[in-house]
Structure 1
C-alpha cells in the first residue's frame, strides 16, 4: 500500500491517541494499526432465517481480509425482514428501514473514517440499502449477497414460502383447512437464506451483480453452501484489492451499468420492487440516469429469457445451476455495455468471457426468448402519469386487457375483509391507496392482500392497483408503485367506488374512465390530508421521504419545504 489511507491519523493528534488507546485495549497488534481498515457490514439477526448464517459468512470474510494484509472491523446494522418486520403497523416499517440502514452504514463507516467496506446482503431491503450507502459514501465497496433458502415437500408436492403465502388466501376462501396450512409451515423452509424464487431478495442480489458491485457468479447462490463460503473468502481478498487500487462505487455504478442492470431485470422477470430500488441507488450515487425511462426502453427491446418462480416452472436453484445472473448477462451481452468496470477490477466483458455458456433450456438466448414479452413493464395514463410498474411475467398470459368497476380501500385489512364478505367480485379493480411512502406513512406491505386474492382464486378475475408495496412473490393482475402516490395528490386519490378503470398491458396504458376536466376537478376538491398521528421514526420518514419517482429516498429538501 503506497497511497495514504484516510484511516491513518497524524501521530500526536487527539484522534490518533485515543484510537490507539482503544485498539491496544482491544488486543489489536500495534503493527496492524497502519493497515487498510475495512468495515464488514453485517446485518445478522436472530429475528429472521434470512440472516441466520451471516455471522459465519462474516468470519470467513474477516479471515480473508486479514490474510490479504488488511484489518477488518465488523459493524452491525438494522436487519429488516419482509416476513418479520412487516408484522407491525401493516408493514409500514419495511421501506423506512431501507433508508435507516443507509444512514446506519454512513454513521459507522464515515464516523470512523474507514477505508472501505464489504456489505453482507440478505433480505429484500438490505441489498438496495447497502448499494445506496456505497453510492452515497463512495469509498471502495463490495456487496456479498448471502444466498437463498431451500424449500421441501409436503403432501406429495413441493412447498416453499411462496406456497405458504398463497395458502393463506386459500384458507380464507375455505379451499384448504388450517391443519393443511399448519403442516405446510413445517416444511416450507429448510435452511438459512432469503425466499426461494425470483422475488425481491434474489432479484436485488442479481441487480448487485448486474451493476458490477458483486463478484461474478455471486447470484443466486445457496445460503450455507460451500460455494458461498468460498466466495466469501474471494470477496475478502477482493475488497482489499479495491482499497489498494482505490476503485470506487461511482466509477462502477455509471449510467451504462444501470442500463445493464435494467435490461437484465426486464429479461429475467425481476421483482416489481427493483424499479424503486435501482432509482434510489442511482439517486444516492448522483448518477444522471432515468431509471424509469430505461425500463420503458428495455421493455421494447427484450423478451423474457428465464421463467423462474413465480414467473414460470423453474426454481431458483435451477437458475443457479444453469448459470445464474452471469449466465443471463452472457446471453444478453449483445444488449449490454461490456466495457463497464466491476469490483473484480476488470470489465464486464472480461468477467463474462471466463464463464461457460448457460443452459439454454433455463436461460434462453436473446434471439429466442422463452416468452416474447418482457418480464417487467412500466405503464402510464391519467391514473399514473409518472408511471406504474407491472411484473408482466406474473400476470396470467391470457390477460392483457382488463376493465372493471373500482372498489376503493385505504386499509389493507378492510380489503382482505372484502374478499371474505363478498365486497369484491369477479371483474372488479381493487384500488389500494394512501399506502405509499408518505401516505402510510412508510409504505404499507399490500402484498398480503394480493396473496390472499390469488389464494382465493381471483388471480385472473380481479385486478389490483396500488401505491403500496408488493412482494416479488406476488402474481396476478397487479399494478404497483402508482406514481405519484395518492398522498402526494396523485390521481389515485380521486378514484371513487364504481368508477371504471381500463388497463391495457399490451399498450402499456392505465386510465380512469373520466373526462380530464372531471378528474382535475375531483383532485382540486380534495381536502388537505390530515397530519399523521404516528410518532418516532415513521413520522420523521414521512417528513423527509421523496417521491417514488425519485426512489423514495430521504432528502433534506422535503423537510425544508414542509417547514
Structure 2
C-alpha cells in the first residue's frame, strides 16, 4: 500500500479515470484490463462508455449491437478506450405484458440508476448512449444530466412499415385493429395476418409517438449531433452519424464539454417549443420535467408548456396527427429544418454537443418545405400541438395532444363512465356498453397508484379501432402511447392516488373539456379518498421500491430520497 489516493483529479491534464500509479485501484484495474487484451499503454486513453439498450426481446433495438461496434471502432480511432455497457432494455409493446404494464414507466428510472452504477462506479470519462424505445431516450438524458459527464445521445431510428390488403400498415394499424376485432369488423385471423405484415426492419414505431418524439427532443436540446432525428434505423446515414458520435465524444472529453453545459433551462425551453410545434407525444411533458429535475434546474415544466404555448403554432401533421409520415419529416430536413423554422422563438445561443450553437447550426439547415413542415406564417393550426388544461378536475394540469384530436369537438361535455382499468373498459367496448358522448375515466393508474403507470393506451387504441374516436372522450392518469389520438386527456395531476379530484369522480358526474379555454372541470367536485389500481404499500421487489420512492408526476415522477420520519415529541 502506498498511502496515495486512488486518483488525483487536480493533477493538471489528468483524466478523472486516470488513477495514481501504484495505488490499489490502478493495480487491480490494470490486471483486469490487461487480461482483456488491452495493452498497458492504451489504458491511459479517455475511457468512453457505450451505453447499449439492446436485447433480443424486440425489433426496436435489434440493430444496436452492430451500432455499438461502429461507435467503439470510432472511439478507438479517435484515441479513446471504448467499453460497451448493457442496461435494462424496455420495449413498450413487449414489456407492457407483465402486471398491466406497471414495469414500463419504472424502467426509465431503473436505466438511469443502471447507467450511474456502471459509469460512475468505474469512473469513466464520457458516454455515448444508444437510445431506442420510449423510455430509453429520457433515461439517457436524465443519466447525462445527473452524472454531468461529456455525453452524446445516438437515436436508434424508426422502423419501416409493411403492406396488408393493398394498404400501407404499421404497428399503429395493428394496435388500433384490436378495437375492430372487439367491434366484430375484423377477425382474429385477419388481425394475425396484419400483425405478421406490419413491421419491416429494426427501429422504433414509425410515427411521432413517444420514441420518435424523444429522439427529436434530444436533438432539439442539443444532445445529439445535427441531423440525428428522425432517422431510418440502420440506414447508411444513421450508421455514419453513430461513428461521428464516437469520434466526437473523445473531443468533448478533451474540451471538458459536459452534459449540464448543454442541458440548461434554455435547452429545455427549446425542447418544449419543438414538442408543441410538432405535436409530440403527451408523455414528453413528464420526461422533460424529469430531465430538468436531474439537471437540478428550478423549472416548472408544466407551466413552461402553458407559457410558451401562448405563441407557438403547430407546424407539421405527422402520423398519428395527420397524413404525413415520420420519414417525410426526415426527407425535408428533420429537426435541423424545424430548428431553423422556429429560430426566432428559440434560444439560438444554446450550445449543442457539436460545439456549435443552435443558431450556428441553423445557418446551413434546410428551410421549411411548406408542405410537410410549414412556415411560421402558415402553420397547420394557430395553436400548439400539445395543450395543458387545468380546472377543477386537474388543478395541477393535464395534457392533451390537440394535434391528434382530429374532428373531435372543441368543447365536450358528457357523463363520466368510471372504470377500474382498461380491461373492464375494453370489455364494455366489446359489449356495446360504451355510449357515444360519454367521458371514460380510467384512474388510479399513475406512477404512485399503479405503482408504475398502468396501461390506458390499449383502450384508447381499441376505441379508435371501433370507430368511436372523437365520439367519446377519455380522461386518465394512466399510461398513454404517443400513437394514441382522439380527445384524450392524459397525465391528470394530481393523480388519483394522491387523493385529487380525479379520485372523487363517480359515474354519472358531468365532465367538461374545453380546448379553447384550456380547462377541464367536473360537477360535482369531490375530493375522494386516494384511489389506486394496485396495492403500492404491499408491493415487493422493484415495484415496491419504486412505489416508496417515486415523486409526483408533475415533477417528472423521478425517484426521491424518502423523507425522514418525524421523531415523537420529547425526543
Structure 2 residue matching 1:464: 3-state secondary structure:
strand
Question: How far 1:357 sits from its partner (Å)?
Answer: 1.6
**1:277 paired to 2:282:** no
> How far did 1:244 drift?
0.6
User: Which residue of 345, 349, 353 corresponds with 2:363?
Assistant: 353
Distance in 1, Cα, partners of 2:72 & 2:324: 35
Quick one: distance in 2 between partners of 1:198 and 1:296?
A: 21
Residue in structure 1 matching 2:552, options 537, 547, 550 = 547
Kindly state the Cα deviation for residue 183 of structure 1 after the two structures are TM-superposed: 1.5
Aligned to 2:78: 68
Provide the alpha-carbon RMSD of the alignment. Answer: 1.8
Alignment of structure 1 residues 59-458 onto 2, 5 Å: 59-458=69-468
Shift of 1:417: 1.0
Tell me, yes or no, if the aligned pair for 1:503 and 1:511 is still in contact at 8 Å.
yes
- Offset of 1:275 from its aligned partner? 0.2
How far apart, CA to CA, are the structure 2 residues paired with 1:465 and 1:405? 12
Check whether the contact 2:210–2:280 (CA below 8 A) recurs between aligned residues: yes
Over residues 70-117 of structure 1, what are the superposed CA-to-partner deviations in whole Å (9 max), with x where a residue is unaligned? 100000000000000001111000000000000000000000000000
Contact 2:148 2:260 in 1 (8 A): yes
Q: CA deviation at 1:533?
A: 3.4
The alpha carbon displacement at 1:373 in A equals 2.5
2:62 corresponds, among 39, 44, 52, to 52
- Tell whether 2:526 aligns with 1:512: no
User: Deviation of residue 397 (structure 1)?
Assistant: 3.0
Structure-2 change in CA distance of 1:94 and 1:349 (3 Å)? same
Measure the CA separation in 1 of the matches of 2:566 and 2:180: 46
SS of match in other structure, 2:538 = coil
Instruction: Mark the runs of 5 or more structure 1 residues left unpaired by the alignment.
Output: none
What SS class does the counterpart of residue 239 from structure 1 fall into? helix
Query: 2:125, 2:149 within 8 Å by CA — same for their partners in 1?
Result: yes
The 2-side partners of 1:141 and 1:280 are apart by 17
Q: What pairs with 1:8-27 in structure 2 (closer than 5 Å)?
A: 8-27=18-37
Q: Report if aligned partners of 2:148, 2:259 keep a CA contact under 8 Å in 1.
A: yes
Task: Figure out how many residues of one structure are paired with residues of the other and give that number.
Answer: 558
Task: Report the equivalent of 2:7.
Answer: none
Q: Is the contact between residue 140 and residue 239 of structure 1 (CA under 8 Å) also seen in structure 2?
A: yes
Q: TM-score, normalised by structure 2?
A: 0.95
- Residue matched to 2:3: none
Query: CA shift at 1:56, angstroms?
Result: 0.6
| TM-superposed deviation, 1:535 | 1.6
- Asked whether the 8 Å contact 1:128–1:281 carries over to 2, the reply is yes
**Contact 1:257–1:337 (CA under 8 A) maintained in structure 2:** yes
Conservation of the 8 A alpha-carbon contact between 2:50 and 2:127: yes
2:499 equivalent among 468, 489, 494: 489
Distance in structure 1 (CA, Å) of the matches to 2:532 and 2:518: 31
SS in 2 for 1:384: coil
Q: Does 1:30 align with 2:40?
A: yes
Q: Is the 8 A contact 1:543 1:559 kept in 2?
A: no
Deviations 1:291-334 (A, max 9, x none): 11111122211211011000000011111001111111111111
Using the TM superposition, give the Cα deviation of residue 527 of structure 1 relative to its aligned residue in structure 2, in angstroms.
Answer: 11
Q: Secondary structure at the match of 1:320?
A: helix
Superposition deviation, residue 398 in structure 1: 4.4
SS at match of 1:38: strand
C-alpha contact (below 8 Å) 1:544/1:558 kept by paired residues? no
Q: Deviation of residue 396 (structure 1)?
A: 2.1
Q: Distance in 1 between matches of 2:335 and 2:530?
A: 49
Structure 2, unaligned runs of 5 or more? 1-10
Structure 1 residue runs of 4 or more that deviate by more than 2 Å after TM superposition: 523-534, 557-563
Distance in 1 between residues matched to 2:302 and 2:252, nearest whole Å:
31
Please, which of 517, 538, 560 is the counterpart of residue 533 of structure 1?
A: 538
Distance in 1 (alpha carbons) for counterparts of 2:497 and 2:562: 18
Question: Offset at 1:529?
Answer: 9.5
**Structure 1 residues 558 and 21, CA gap change in structure 2 (3 angstroms):** same
Describe how 1:444-483 pairs up with structure 2 within 5 A.
444-483=454-493
Q: Conserved in 1, the CA contact under 8 Å of 2:280 and 2:482?
A: yes
Q: Given that residues 421 and 533 in structure 2 are in contact (C-alpha distance below 8 angstroms), is that contact kept between their aligned partners in structure 1?
A: no
- CA gap 1:396/1:73 in 2 versus in 1, 3 angstroms: same
Query: Do the aligned partners of 1:40 and 1:73 also contact (CA within 8 Å) in 2?
Result: yes
Q: 1:381 to 1:189 in 2, by over 3 A?
A: same
- How far apart are the structure 2 equivalents of 1:527 and 1:143? 36
Secondary structure at the aligned position of 2:415 is classed as strand
1:248-301 CA distance string (max 9 Å, x none)? 111111111111110000000100000000000000010122211111122211
Q: 1:530 to 1:88 in 2, by over 3 A?
A: closer
Q: Deviations over 1:532-552 (max 9, x none)?
A: 433211111011000001100
TM-score when scaled to structure 1? Answer: 0.97
Give, in whole Å, the separation in 2 of the partners of 1:77 and 1:51: 12
